[in-house]
A = this chain, B = another copy of it.
Amino acid sequence: MKHNFGAGPGILPQEVLKQAAAAVINFNGTGLSLLEISHRSAEFEAVLDEAVSLVKELFEVPSGYSVLFLQGGASTQFAMVPYNLLPEGGKAAYVESGVWANKALKEAKYFGTVDVVATSKESNFTYIPKDFEVPADAAYLHITSNNTIYGTQLQQFPSSPVPLVCDMSSDIFSRKVNVADFGLIYAGAQKNMGPAGVTLVIVKDDILGKVDRKIPAMFNYQTQIEGGSMYNTPPVFAIYVSMLTLNWLKAKGGVEAIEKDNLAKSKALYTEIDRNPLFKAVAVPEDRSHMNVCFVAENPEHEKPFLKLCDEKGIVGLKGHRSVGGFRASIYNALPITSVHVLIETMQEFAEKNK
């Protein structure tokens, strides 16, 4: 039994993995593998429809929004967002809260002017920049809801005079969000929603069609909406596993229920970090992430022996990102609180040994 604290591709529910493995052999009693059926078959169309319906239901997506399952990850969205939303000669506002936000704004520069309205770069992104003005003539405001590398998370979304575009790759479906506040939400699936290879996009239809440039079919949200995420062959398996994971979430009681579980997990872990004299948290308290708990050893020499002890306890994926060091406990939806307890006990055992 492993305790998977990896930052992503991250842990998925055991029952989802069992269903996915079975479908690779024989999908829904068709006698064929899920990997070798047509994406235009009634069987797969039902999967895609169910995945879209579950997103709408679990996230309470209002009418006037389209739900898409695309390829290319959030990194492709970094370019697709300005391709579709930033007019020639126009301007877009970005909040720089980490490396991924920085990558997003760099892509936007290919399409127009970028106004970095706030940044926490000077502190190596240990907090979420909050006080900023959004120019009323910006095409949109781009934010990142959770920053995996630094363990920071937006606890309150900014109000914006222009459409709000949000990269939710690392905390989608982990907490309640009012979708109506957003123009566009995107998320690579591989943390809270499914395996690598599919990207969720929720877009307000009426923010589209306002740029003049010609957009290749695959990079055009309008084409993808008209094709119902099947303009071309979609990533069948990744969508299926996402559908299973969303169904698992629904059975758990939905987003509201998982949010409670996630808060309990992060509270337990931060309490131990704050209490344990050998460790300290990376992010400022008010911006601490409930998805990625980043912490370091007070004594850098403790880093290796602690990771070794974790390894002995079956704890995997705890090493921090190289730009921060230390440890990162990713406690995504599918991670049971029992794994958090094992980590806490290991921290306590380590502190006891190193008094």
Contacts and interface: CB of A to CB of B under 8 A. Distances in A.
A22 interface: yes
Contacts of A35: 9, 12, 17, 20, 194-196, 241
B71 A7 contact: no
A132 interface: no
Contacts of A106: 217
A235 B197 contact: yes
A346 interface: no
A38 interface: yes
Contact-residue size bin, chain A (C-beta under 8 Å from the other chain): 35 or more
Interface string A211-230: 00011111100000000000
A316 to B, nearest CB: 7
A287 B103 CA distance: 47
A236 B196 contact: yes
A10 interface: yes
A190 interface: yes
A238 interface: yes
Interface string A32-46: 110111110000000
Most chain B CB inside 10 Å of its own CB: which residue of A7, A22, A232: A232
Interface of A is mostly: loop
Interface stretch (A72-80, A178-186, A247-255, A265-273): A72-80
Given A32-B316, A33-B17, A233-B188, A72 B218 contact: yes
Contacts of A76: 71-72, 218, 232
B195 A236 contact: yes
A31 interface: yes
Interface string A240-265: 01000000000000000000000000
Contacts of A216: 78-79, 83, 107, 110
B231 A75 contact: yes
A237 interface: yes
Contacts of A18: 25
B232 A74 contact: yes
A11 interface: yes
Nearest to A103: B217
A174 interface: no
A317 interface: yes
Most chain B CB inside 10 Å of its own CB: which residue of A24, A75, A190, A217: A24
A2 B37 CA distance: 12
A333 interface: no
Most chain B CB inside 10 Å of its own CB: which residue of A6, A24, A35, A217: A35
Contacts of A31: 1-2, 314
A177 to B, nearest CB: 23
Nearest to A109: B214
B38 A7 contact: yes
Contacts of A72: 71-72, 76, 218, 232
Nearest first, the 5 closest Cβ-Cβ pairs linking A and B are A197-B235, A79-B216, A75-B232, A71-B71, A21-B24
Interface of A: 1-2, 4, 6-12, 17-18, 20-22, 24-25, 30-33, 35-39, 71-76, 78-79, 83, 103, 106-107, 110, 188, 190, 194-198, 214-219, 231-238, 241, 314, 316-317
